[in-house]
């Protein structure tokens, strides 16, 4: 694993560890994970501690009112997957929405709220693979919520940019604004109601959330606002262990959670890109970005057409990833010209999620992602339990013929995806890329930076990003004008991003030396820390 960097230029070194490592997008979350590891906890314990902390200190990006997916690799071996996404109400018949004159589920609608799946996923992971009591694991987050925490710069930036999303809920405005404005970097915030709920979960497990006061408050609030979720929908929820899907890439194998997540999109992209030489010396920056954009255009078009809840709309992933399927897609790409958008897309480019990864002394590794979808989710807030409710249901279509059509107790198509990279049936890297719709493209880009361009882990995370979505090619400002002009001449509709694109965390395992290498994206506030 490369660790070299230009120490004169602005940047960070790849983190190195031996007994354990955590990489998150917030320093308090990384510290919580490391403290749990040093107290005798394993990777699962550390990850739960970290994600719970992020639910407190980065409340617009994630929360216990959201969903969770995880890949877990015991002792650095092959991963298993956990689907912790929530479902619609059992009463969510598509005919009911049509009768109400609803033809699209808006991101602030009460109908965008699905059962929060994250807490059940944490509890399942803790029970099956954790080593410490859940109450001890959640204690750092509970304390931070009750005693307060200081807002970090990137969190403050995002909070200010999205404060308006709280405007239709008086309780949310009171909980997350100071005199009607977002908190500034360095100011102190506290969420005591959330702290109490975390303590209840620590004491009673999943029942403390899905069958207790929190569920009662949330369903009552949603019902008063016209929602369909009830206590039975909450009590019936459970996470599901599923078999990861994977694809080979230049001697490695990328593992993703299967649908209803969009991990298959990243696999399609890499299968397409494997037919091109993407090494540093082979092509210029414009061609490399163009090829990634074309692979994304094709893969996202397939995602939007095919991916939904596999219990209702099964997808033959193996056939989709076969050479017979991929070869004509690859052959359709011109090196000198952007191709047409396959079909109009009605998915909005949101970017609110947290991803983290933890590896322990026994080389158990977890790749975990937690999200409330949009900034502050739906904006609906349960004040007594301190829960911001996600709006994942906004992904559903009011279209009976679409695989992602809304229906009773269905899981929506999900953008959040953890990932792992193996070689010779051993884990070599646990990683993920935040950024909503960007995540699948981000996985392909990050893997290519590491494998094709042989970059050090932190350098691969820091590399300039682009994203082709909905007919436009967005470039970060670190991509030079000559490259942008070349891409425009190829037919891409080039736009510059005012904000950074996504965020990445990664931990690589060197099985020969036993060392751990970590990276945390400079675009966020976080840190990778090993010991």
**pLDDT tens figures, 68-81:** 999 999 999 999 99
Within this chain, do residues 163 and 226 fall inside the same structural domain, yes or no? yes
Within this chain, do residues 233 and 319 fall inside the same structural domain, yes or no? no
Concatenated DSSP letters of 2-58: -----SSSS--PPEEESS-EEEESSHHHHHHHHHHHHTT--HHHHHHHHHHHHHHHS
Within this chain, do residues 234 and 378 fall inside the same structural domain, yes or no? yes
List Cβ neighbours of 289 (8 Å cut-off, separation of 6 or more): 466, 473, 475, 479, 483, 487
Within this chain, do residues 210 and 261 fall inside the same structural domain, yes or no? no
Within this chain, do residues 233 and 247 fall inside the same structural domain, yes or no? no
CB neighbour class for 488 (10 Å; exposed up to 12, middle 13-18, buried from 19): middle
The model's pTM: 0.96
> Is residue 1 one of the residues assigned to a domain?
no
Within this chain, do residues 328 and 426 fall inside the same structural domain, yes or no? yes
Within this chain, do residues 132 and 233 fall inside the same structural domain, yes or no? yes
In the prediction, which pLDDT does 342 show? 61
What CATH number corresponds to the domain at position 324?
Answer: 3.60.20.40
> Is residue 254 one of the residues assigned to a domain?
yes
> Is residue 133 one of the residues assigned to a domain?
yes
State the DSSP H helix or E strand holding residue 187, giving kind and residue range, or none if neither: none
> Is residue 55 one of the residues assigned to a domain?
yes
Q: Which domain holds residue 35?
A: 26-68+79-240+366-395
Buried b (16+ CB within 10 A) or exposed e, 311-338: eebebebeebbeeeebeebbeebeeeeb
In the prediction, which pLDDT does 344 show? 47
Within this chain, do residues 92 and 125 fall inside the same structural domain, yes or no? yes
In the prediction, which pLDDT does 4 show? 87
- The pair of three-digit structure tokens given for residue 316, joined into one six-digit string: 């033959």
**Calpha distance 188→191 (Å, rounded):** 11
Cβ pair 499, 492 in contact under 8 A: no
| Residue in 14, 353, 415, 474 annotated catalytic | 353
Within this chain, do residues 471 and 370 fall inside the same structural domain, yes or no? no
Within this chain, do residues 105 and 247 fall inside the same structural domain, yes or no? no
Cβ pair 144, 188 in contact under 8 A: no
pLDDT tens track for 15-70: 999 999 999 999 999 999 999 999 999 999 999 999 999 999 999 999 999 999 99
List Cβ neighbours of 412 (8 Å cut-off, separation of 6 or more): 85, 88, 114, 260, 308, 309, 392, 393, 395, 396, 404, 406
In the prediction, which pLDDT does 351 show? 55
CA R_g for the chain = 22
Averaged pLDDT for residues 237-265: 97
C-alpha distances out from residue 126 to 134, 365, 428, 506, Å = 7, 14, 24, 22
Q: How many domains does the chain divide into?
A: 2
Known catalytic residue at 353: yes
Cβ pair 427, 73 in contact under 8 A: yes
Within this chain, do residues 296 and 388 fall inside the same structural domain, yes or no? no
């Amino acid at each position: 694993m490369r660790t070299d960097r230009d120490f004169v230029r602005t940047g960070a070194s790849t983190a190195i560890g031996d007994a354990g490592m955590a990489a998150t997008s917030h320093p308090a979350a990384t510290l919580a994970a490391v403290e749990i590891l040093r107290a005798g906890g394993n990777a699962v314990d550390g990850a739960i501690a970290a994600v719970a902390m992020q639910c407190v200190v980065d409340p617009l990006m994630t929360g216990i009112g959201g969903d969770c997916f995880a890949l877990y690799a015991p002792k650095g071996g092959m991963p298993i997957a956990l689907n912790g996404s929530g479902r619609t109400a059992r009463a969510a018949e598509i005919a009911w929405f049509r009768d109400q004159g609803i033809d699209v589920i808006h991101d602030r609608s009460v109908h965008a709220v699905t059962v929060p799946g994250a807490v059940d996923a944490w509890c399942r992971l803790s029970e099956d693979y954790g080593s410490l009591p859940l109450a001890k694991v959640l204690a750092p987050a509970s304390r931070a919520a009750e005693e307060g925490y200081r807002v970090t710069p990137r969190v403050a930036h995002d909070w200010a940019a999205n404060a308006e999303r709280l405007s239709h809920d008086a309780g949310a405005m009171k909980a997350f604004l100071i005199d009607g404005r977002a908190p500034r970097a360095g100011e102190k915030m506290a969420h005591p109601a959330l702290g109490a709920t975390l303590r209840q979960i620590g004491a009673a497990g999943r029942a403390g959330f899905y069958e207790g006061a929190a569920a009662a408050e949330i369903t009552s609030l949603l019902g008063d606002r016209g929602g369909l979720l009830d206590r039975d929908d909450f009590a019936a929820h459970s996470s599901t262990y599923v078999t990861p899907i994977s694809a080979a890439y230049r001697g490695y194998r990328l593992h993703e959670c299967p649908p209803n997540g969009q991990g298959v999109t990243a696999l399609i992209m890499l299968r397409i890109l494997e037919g091109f030489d993407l090494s540093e010396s082979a092509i210029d920056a414009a061609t490399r970005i163009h090829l990634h954009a074309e692979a994304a255009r094709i893969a996202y078009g397939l995602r939007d057409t095919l991916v939904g809840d596999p219990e209702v709309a099964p997808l033959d992933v193996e056939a989709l990833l076969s050479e017979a399927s991929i070869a004509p897609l690859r052959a359709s790409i011109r090196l000198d010209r952007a191709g047409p958008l396959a079909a109009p897309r009605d998915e909005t480019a949101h970017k609110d999620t947290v991803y983290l990864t933890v590896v322990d002394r026994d080389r158990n590794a977890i790749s975990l992602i937690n999200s409330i979808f949009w900034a502050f989710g739906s904006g609906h807030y349960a004040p007594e339990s301190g829960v911001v409710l996600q709006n994942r249901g906004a992904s559903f279509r009011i279209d009976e013929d679409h695989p992602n059509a809304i229906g009773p107790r269905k899981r929506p198509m999900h953008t959040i995806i953890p990932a792992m990279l193996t070689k010779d049936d051993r884990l070599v890297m646990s990683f993920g890329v935040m950024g909503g719709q960007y995540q699948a493209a981000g996985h392909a880009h990050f893997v290519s930076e590491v494998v094709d361009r042989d970059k050090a882990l932190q350098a691969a995370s820091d590399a300039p990003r682009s994203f082709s979505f909905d007919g436009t090619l967005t470039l970060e400002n670190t991509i030079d004008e000559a490259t942008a002009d070349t891409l425009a001449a190829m037919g891409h509709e080039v736009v510059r991003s005012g904000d950074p694109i996504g965020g990445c965390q990664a931990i690589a395992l060197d099985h020969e030396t036993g060392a751990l290498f970590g990276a945390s994206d400079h675009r966020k506030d976080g840190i990778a820390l090993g010991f």
